[in-house]
Homo-oligomer: A and B are copies of this chain.
Amino acid sequence: MSNHESSDRKICRESEQGKSVGLPTDPHRRNLLSAAVSTGSALVMTSMVAQAQASDPLPIPQWTKTLGDPVLKNPYGLPSPFEKAIIRRETLAADMPGGYNFPTPHSYWSTTPLQDLRGTITPNGLFYERHHAGVPAVEPSEHRLVVHGLVKRELIFTMDQLRRLPTVSSFHFLECSGNGDMVTEGKFGKNVADIHGLLSCAQWTGVKLSTLLEEAGVEKDKARYVLAEGADSAAMLRTIPFQRAMDECIVVYAQNGENLRPEQGYPVRLLVPGCEGNLNIKWLRRLEVTDNPAFSREETSKYSDLTGPDGMAHKSTLIMEAKSVITFPSGGQELPEAGYYQIRGIAWTGRGKITGVDVSMDGGKNWEPANLTQPVLSKCLTEFTLPWRWDKTSAVLMSRATDETGYVQPFIEQLFTARGKYFLYHNNAIQPWLVQSDGSVVYG
């Protein structure tokens, strides 16, 4: 320890020549503030930094003169009242009467306000919702998870028993396969949340599905799929190829440290990293090892793609391909003046890690590599940034993600060519944003 404390001792000795510094009522400090203000208008800024405007001399604000709120005003804390506009919202509900099959309050969705977020973690309160029969109020003490089918031992787990099993924690995005579908339908949202907000990211904790299946003793010669069923009244039901279930799936009960939120499948859901959200069955009550897919409603009438020029149906497009979107500057935002801005966005892929994001400021003619915030994690959101100096001329901004398989995010035209004009799900096209000369940003 001594070697660690020596540096502190050094600091300590130096601090003995320290000068006293004023408290809020000390005129010395107020003079400093005024001085700072009086010279504020003479600032010379580098090309990399926004100009700090001078303003009137700073008064000591009221909140510095009085006690604030007591500790534990909210034993479970909430955002600042000044942030009350940063919430989940319905997607263009007013703009698309009948545009979807079940526009009811119980089979609908809400979007994450990605344009207002930073970094890669989505706060649980802003995690996107997609329900098919509403959010069931599952009693954790009464909930059971059954493992059966082609197994030697059928198992029934209580939540307490699940929580005793070996745990894993990892960061993964979740994206609805319908994310971006209004674009393929010719409907263009106003901002990132409207178009791409069925996307969120969290640290998930739970039990590997392989732990449960190995415990049940899978009949490996016959097992080819695992069926997962939810406890909601839609009985959401999907099938996962057996090897993916063994290699990647996690039965999760915690999200960003705390137990799952009701909208995310409380008390337990399936996580299939990198695959379409609908596959990540919420309120998970049943896992059946089978020799064939379920061919369920959600694999036939819904979540199946009519793609390919040959009109061939894809009933199980599981993996979310590489995608990215610029969140600043983006639709609905305004650039107040010419000068430095940081272009920011997020990229993700269901195939592993993002290896690069290129950004274009001229509608795709020229591309520059963006900086990726470390650590870059597999099947997780990756933040990218790039400095930009705006000269008040209109510009079309685009981002293009590449993943570790070498796959490059396509233009929408490439998707229409590859899939035909009727495709709806899995739109991972490049998103153009038009920055207009007045600073307003709209769909490009």
For the complex of A and B, the 9 pairs showing the least CB-CB separation, nearest first, are: A68-B134, A18-B295, A70-B105, A63-B136, A75-B87, A118-B205, A50-B164, A119-B169, A15-B293
Q: Which residues from B are CB-within-8-Å of A147?
A: 36
A121 CA to B127 CA, complexed, in Å: 15
Q: Does A332 contact B (CB under 8 A)?
A: no
- A44-78 contacts to B, CB under 8 A, are 44-46, 48-55, 58, 61, 63-78
Contact string, A138-163, partner B, CB cutoff 8 A, digits 1/0?
A: 11101110111000011111101100
In whole Å, how far is A86's beta carbon from the nearest beta carbon of chain B? Answer: 7
- A21 and B294 in contact, given A64-B136, A232-B64 (Cβ under 8 angstroms): yes
Q: Does A262 contact B (CB under 8 A)?
A: yes
B80 touches A256 (CB 8 A): no
By beta carbon, the residue of chain B nearest A260 is B80
- A64 and B314 in contact, given A14-B292, A215-B49, A385-B167 (Cβ under 8 angstroms): no
In whole Å, how far is A340's beta carbon from the nearest beta carbon of chain B? Answer: 7
B241 touches A11 (CB 8 A): yes
A82 touches B166 (CB 8 A): no
Q: Does A223 contact B (CB under 8 A)?
A: no
Q: Does A237 contact B (CB under 8 A)?
A: yes
CB within 8 A of A77: which of B261, B296, B340? B261
B259 touches A83 (CB 8 A): yes
B155 touches A36 (CB 8 A): yes
In whole Å, how far is A1's beta carbon from the nearest beta carbon of chain B? Answer: 6
CB within 8 A of A138: which of B37, B61, B71? B61
B40 touches A155 (CB 8 A): yes
- A21 and B257 in contact, given A58-B144, A126-B76 (Cβ under 8 angstroms): no
A4 touches B258 (CB 8 A): no
Q: Does A342 contact B (CB under 8 A)?
A: yes
A77 CA to B161 CA, complexed, in Å: 27
